[in-house]
């Protein structure tokens, strides 16, 4: 009886671990093919090739949408398939002091913190050129002036990056990037392929 209990417990643990390993944002799953994602109802409004071998699918809707999102870019790699998801929010306007942008950023940061733990945070402005309170987004858009960004690590091996970006006076947007468990392997394979091509070309 005890052995049966242990076997059931181990089986449940393996199943839950596998499910967590496949977990991706917006009710997607890491490793899905482009056709499998399309079968879920995702429509690629713009489909391009990146790095010669990676398919980028830009869409305005995924199985579970974020309320602030405008577009999602899904990246499909050879062999590893879906290994990156990049969300871009709607443009934040008429927000001279960055109040709305910071509130939205901190709300998303709080949700992610509850799920993945404390992130590495880089949050400061006014270090170069733009240092007035109403120049918040100009500062974020200027290299070295300021940044609002958080970086999370996950148990499945991927990373998550949350950023508040500047567009101009009173305007900005938020990006949220997820990397899958095999993203690093997929990128390394691309770099190896490029290096081999360079050697062959010389």
Share of the chain above pLDDT 90, in %: 78
pLDDT tier at 17 (50, 70, 90 boundaries)? very low
Average pLDDT over the chain, rounded to whole? 90
Mean pLDDT on 163-167? 98
More confident residue, 46 or 129: 46
Higher pLDDT, 20 or 86: 86
Tell me what the mean pLDDT of segment 105-127 comes to. 96
Instruction: Give the model's pLDDT for residue 181.
Output: 97
- What is the structure's pLDDT at 3? 46
pLDDT digits (tens, 9 = 90+) for 21-43: 458 999 999 999 999 999 999 99
One-character DSSP codes across the chain: -HHHHHHHHHHHHHHHHHHHHTB-GGG-BTT--HHHHHHTT---SEEEEETTTEEEEEES--SS--TTEEEEEEEEETTTEEEEEEEEEPPB-S-TTSHHHHHHHHHHHHHHHHHH-PPEEEEE--SSS--SGGGHHHHHHSTTT-EEEEEEE-TTS-EEEEEEEEEETTEEEEEEEEE-TTHHHHHHHHHHHHHHHHHHH-
Domain ranges of the chain: 2-201
Percent residues over pLDDT 70 in the chain: 89
- For 53-97, how does the pLDDT look when each residue is reduced to its tens digit (9 = 90+)? 999 999 999 999 999 999 999 999 999 999 999 999 999 999 999
């Amino acid at each position: 009886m005890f052995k049966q209990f242990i076997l059931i417990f181990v089986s449940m643990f393996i199943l839950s671990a596998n499910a967590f390993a496949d977990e991706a944002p917006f009710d997607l799953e890491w490793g899905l093919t482009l056709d499998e994602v399309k079968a879920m109802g995702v429509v690629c409004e713009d489909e391009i090739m990146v790095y010669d071998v990676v398919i980028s699918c830009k869409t305005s809707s995924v199985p579970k949408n974020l309320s602030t999102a405008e577009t999602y870019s899904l990246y499909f790699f050879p062999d590893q398939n879906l290994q990156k998801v990049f969300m871009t929010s709607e443009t934040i306007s008429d927000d001279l002091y960055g109040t709305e942008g910071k509130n939205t950023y901190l709300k998303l940061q709080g949700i992610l913190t509850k799920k993945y733990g404390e992130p590495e945070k880089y949050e400061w402005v006014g270090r170069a050129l733009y240092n007035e309170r109403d120049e918040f987004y100009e500062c974020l858009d200027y290299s070295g002036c300021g940044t609002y960004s958080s970086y999370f690590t996950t148990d499945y091996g991927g990373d998550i990056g949350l950023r508040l970006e500047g567009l101009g006076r009173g305007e900005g947007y938020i990006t949220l990037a997820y990397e899958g468990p095999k993203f690093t392997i997929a990128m390394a394979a691309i770099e190896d392929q490029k290096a081999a091509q360079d050697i062959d070309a010389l």
